[in-house]
Structure 1
Amino acid sequence: MVACHWLRGLPSGRERYTATAAGATFTGPLLTDVLKPTDPRIDPGVKNAQLRLFVTATGSDGYRATVAWAELDPA
């Protein structure tokens, strides 16, 4: 597994997530900022094109989450 050390250089976002069950608070960059360098090419001529793209993130513990690009894109 490759560590993404460049993430440390991104600014922490305005959002804050608090894991109350674990009693811990985690902060970090917004996912949209992390994904900016990917610059997905979404064809405006295709209806709901952003729904065809997705992101899968895998944690160091092997947990995976997949979401549609449209759920992440603030536009």
Structure 2
Amino acid sequence: MIGRGHRGDENGDTTFTCGRIYIDNVQVTVVKLDIWGTVTDENRHEYQTPANQVITGIRHDGDENGWTQYEYGWISYTG
């Protein structure tokens, strides 16, 4: 996941953008670990993965006051 956009209230549209990541013209491998991070209050609108990790998924429950949880994994570049 390389981007996210949302319009409107909790009933609005959310769009996620996926893409490939390249470093020095070499495609990196994203390894999805199926590890879900800490649940956050959606009003905070912030989440930071552990060091050397990337966001690989997101789930949310409820309205703007509901909870959001992010899934993370790591990337492999040239082995």
TM over 0.5: no
Q: Larger % of strand: which?
A: 2
Question: Please, what TM-score do these two structures have when normalized by structure 2?
Answer: 0.25
- TM-score normalised by L of structure 1: 0.25
The structure that is helix-richer by fraction is: 1
